[in-house]
Amino acid sequence: MITENKNSILEVKGLSKSFDGVHAVAGMSCSIEKGTITSIIGPNGSGKTTLTNCVTGMMPFDGGVLCASGVELARIVPHDVPTYGIARTFQNIRLFEQMIVRDNLLVVLTERAPLAALFERHSPLHEEQAEELLRHVGLWEKRDVLASRLSYGQRKLLEIARALAMRPLIIFFDEPFAGLFPEMVKTVVGIMKEFREQGGTIILIEHAMDLIRELSDHVIVMDAGTVLAEGAPAEVLSRTDVMEAYLGG
């Protein structure tokens, strides 16, 4: 079934997820417009990470549907996620720790199982793509270093490069700025803005309001597993009910 909103690249309709009878996501509906940065914010426990995990196939949802790139889905599993142009980063960085930086990208670029990709002869195209991505995120000089030996910020950049290597239409960034030094924050902000300028869509989970204001075209506020407010950043972040939700009032 094709979605009704022609500008929408991702829609969530009545999505729900419970744990031991407690609703983490409670019949939530929202629409993400293509070529934008949409930030999903809310107090701890509001359902942001659960929503992200459901939409990116990390856990099944109990009810509702997901419309990705015009295709309506009652379920989505991790190996199907790239088919719909979706990639993500994680709060807890996930890399192949004992592979060098370049091989972490080649695994994604060759679209093989990790072990097969490690031992195959990579084409010049794959090598060129890896170099381009590593230069783009500022890690080319670290190409032959084990991922486990990178700094925290460099590891975040490598994870972003891996997401970009999937050639996605949509990237979920789950708290990408947490723990980064200011210069690294600027680098990640630049990568996000360029991805949007090239027509990509970003869904950003973040707590830093200054970055939300700088980056967001649209803000969705979650509370108790559903949408409390949404709209332009300046409008949404000035609402009394949004401020009360953050302050626990």
**Domains of the chain by residue range:** 1-85+170-249, 89-167
Q: Which CATH class is domain 1-85+170-249?
A: alpha beta
* Predicted local confidence at residue 118, as pLDDT: 52
In the chain, what percentage of residues exceed pLDDT 90?
A: 70
Q: Residue 44: name the closest of 247, 235, 241 by CA.
A: 247
* Predicted local confidence at residue 248, as pLDDT: 57
pTM: 0.89
214 has a pLDDT exceeding 50 = yes
pLDDT, tens digit (0-9, with 9 covering 90-100), for 70-104: 889 988 988 888 889 999 998 778 888 889 999 99
Q: Concatenated DSSP letters for the chain?
A: ---S-TTEEEEEEEEEEEETTEEEEEEEEEEEETTSEEEEE-STTSSHHHHHHHHTTSS--SEEEEEETTEEES---GGGGGGGTEEE--SS----TTSBHHHHHHHHHTTS-HHHHHHSPPPHHHHHHHHHHHHHHT-GGGTTSBGGGS-HHHHHHHHHHHHHHT--SEEEEESTTTT--HHHHHHHHHHHHHHHHTT-EEEEE---HHHHHHH-SEEEEEETTEEEEEE-HHHHHT-HHHHHHHHT-
Residue 137 backbone phi and psi in degrees, to 5: -100, 5
| Angstrom distance (rounded) from CA 227 to CA 134 | 37
Residue bearing tokens 């097969």: 116
**DSSP SS3 for 167:** coil
Structure tokens at 199: 């027509």
169 has a pLDDT exceeding 90 = yes
* Predicted local confidence at residue 120, as pLDDT: 55
| Angstrom distance (rounded) from CA 192 to CA 175 | 13
220 has a pLDDT exceeding 90 = yes
134 has a pLDDT exceeding 60 = yes
* Predicted local confidence at residue 243, as pLDDT: 87
